[in-house]
């Protein structure tokens, strides 16, 4: 049976000193979360160590927001998998739409990171999603299929148990425009069917597919009731303890 994964993507928010206090607060408010829900928070790089220490011994897992695809060396401004592992990171968000849009990351580049993360024993959260004009012109499915086929190229079937897919319609991220549960479910079903095509039905059935894009404590329950939605990647609402706690404790 698939678990749910609720993840907080803090983006470029929270100084290490603030992050430490906030993470400690979360360990307390989230300690009685249901056993079928995995909780992960992804602070900025500078706060990873402090947050890692604050959540030690709690149910919360540590995630990073990006990673370089090389072992080490002359890559100014980049962070390696070993550096992340050394501070206790388990998950790494890859191909977030802000990386794709602002920093022009391609499917091919994201695929290199996915493969490298797997090789290192990190669990990639591969983000996919269509732009508003792509949805409006009926291209959603073909865009998502390309992102999946190219992003998961050369991933072994057996490694899929360590990959999470985050479906995040770009038009819903940070806009307050959450996809309706029905629209999100229809797309999640397509993503799952595509995983069955690329790999097989068992892989598709076992893969966690999160929804992301303006998820709040008000919208989470309706989304999580859908059969193919297995959690949420939460930006803005993950920065407030009460809303993130309520999201983690969603009601189905
Ligand atoms: P949002 O961000 O919840 O603020 O829309 C989600 C994300 O970008 O992962």
Q: What is the pLDDT of residue 77?
A: 98
What 8-state DSSP symbol labels residue 43?
Answer: -
The answer to whether 96 is a known catalytic residue is: yes
Structure tokens at 252: 């189905």
CA distance from start to end of the chain: 16
User: How far apart are the CA of 166 and the centre of ligand 1, in A?
Assistant: 11
In Å, how far are 107, 163, 186, 223, 232 from 176, measured between CA atoms? 27, 27, 20, 15, 15
| Residue 1 pLDDT > 90 | no
pLDDT digits (tens, 9 = 90+) for 110-122: 999 999 999 999 9
Encode pLDDT of 68-107 as tens digits. 999 999 999 999 999 999 999 999 999 999 999 999 999 9
pLDDT in tens, 176-193: 988 999 999 999 999 999
DSSP structural state of residue 251: -
Best probe residue, ligand 1, of 63, 102, 173, 247 (max atoms within 8 Å of C-beta): 173
Predicted pLDDT of residue 178: 86
pLDDT in tens, 121-176: 999 999 999 999 999 999 999 999 999 999 999 999 999 999 999 999 999 999 99
Give the residue among 55, 120, 62, 119 at the shortest CA–CA distance from 93.
62
Architecture of domain 4-248: Alpha-Beta Barrel (3.20)
- At 216-250, the pLDDT tens digits run 999 999 999 999 999 999 999 999 999 999 999 99
Q: Whose CA is closest to atom 7 on ligand 1?
A: 235
Question: What are the residues facing 233 on neighbouring strands?
Answer: 7, 212
Which residue in 95, 99, 119 sits closest to 107, CA to CA? 95
Q: Whose CA is nearest to atom 1 of ligand 1?
A: 235
As a whole number of angstroms, the distance between CA 240 and CA 224 comes to 20
Q: What is the pTM of this model?
A: 0.98
How far does the centroid of ligand 1 lie from the alpha carbon of residue 237, in Å? Answer: 8
Residue 5's pLDDT band, with cuts at 50, 70 and 90, is very high
Q: Are 205 and 159 in contact (CB under 8 A)?
A: no
Candidate of 164, 211, 213, 231 to mutate for ligand 1, largest count of ligand atoms within 8 Å of Cβ:
213
d(CA 41, CA 61): 6
Residue 75: its pLDDT value, please? 98
Residues 201-214: what's their mean pLDDT? 98
């Amino acid at each position: 049976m698939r678990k749910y994964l609720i993840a907080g993507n803090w983006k470029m928010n929270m100084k290490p000193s603030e992050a430490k206090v906030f993470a400690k607060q979360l360990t307390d408010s989230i300690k009685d979360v249901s056993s079928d829900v995995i909780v992960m928070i992804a602070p900025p790089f500078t706060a990873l160590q402090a947050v890692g220490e604050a959540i030690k011994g709690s149910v919360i897992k540590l995630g990073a927001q990006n990673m370089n695809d090389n072992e080490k060396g002359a890559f100014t401004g980049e962070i390696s998998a070993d550096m992340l592992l050394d501070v206790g990171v388990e998950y790494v968000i890859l191909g977030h739409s802000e990386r794709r849009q602002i920093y022009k990351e391609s499917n091919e580049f994201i695929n290199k990171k996915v493969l490298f993360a797997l090789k290192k024993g990190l669990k990639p959260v591969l983000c996919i999603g269509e732009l508003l004009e792509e949805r409006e012109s009926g291209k959603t499915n073909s865009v998502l299929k390309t992102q999946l086929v190219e992003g998961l190229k050369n991933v072994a079937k057996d490694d899929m148990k360590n990959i999470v897919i985050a479906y995040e319609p770009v038009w819903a991220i940070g806009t307050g425009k959450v996809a309706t549960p029905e629209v999100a479910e229809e797309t999640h079903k397509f993503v799952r069917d595509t995983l069955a095509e690329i790999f097989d039905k068992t892989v598709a059935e076992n893969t966690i597919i999160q929804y992301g894009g303006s998820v709040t404590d008000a919208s989470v329950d309706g989304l999580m009731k859908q059969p193919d939605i297995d959690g949420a990647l939460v930006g803005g609402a993950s920065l407030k303890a009460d809303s993130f706690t309520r999201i983690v404790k969603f009601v189905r």
